[in-house]
Structure 1
């Protein structure tokens, strides 16, 4: 079993390379969350607002 810690700083180099291969769909942009995860949101989205929404949802669950 392999377990990866959250955050890009702890990722193996191969996983980091794969992350860079996944491009956002048309009309979307990639937003890096504070823990290293990356999400896609509409290109007109505010990165700060997207981060706030994710934090709010995770806190509620």
Structure 2
């Protein structure tokens, strides 16, 4: 997935990096979320997480997920 392509399509979320935990088969996106009152939250959001059945594999699905 391309961080720049995703960031162009999001307004209040900035993708910083992508990380994988290969042994656990998990993938995370590191983000910075800016709320309307300028509060900034930095953290990691799982987007491929077998324990919960979350399997996002395309950029468009990830963008829709981050917009929620």
Question: Same fold, TM exceeding 0.5?
Answer: no
TM-score, length-normalised on structure 2?
0.30
TM-score, length-normalised on structure 1?
0.32
Whose strand fraction is larger, Structure 1's or Structure 2's? 2
Whose helix fraction is larger, Structure 1's or Structure 2's? 1
Which has the larger Rg? 1
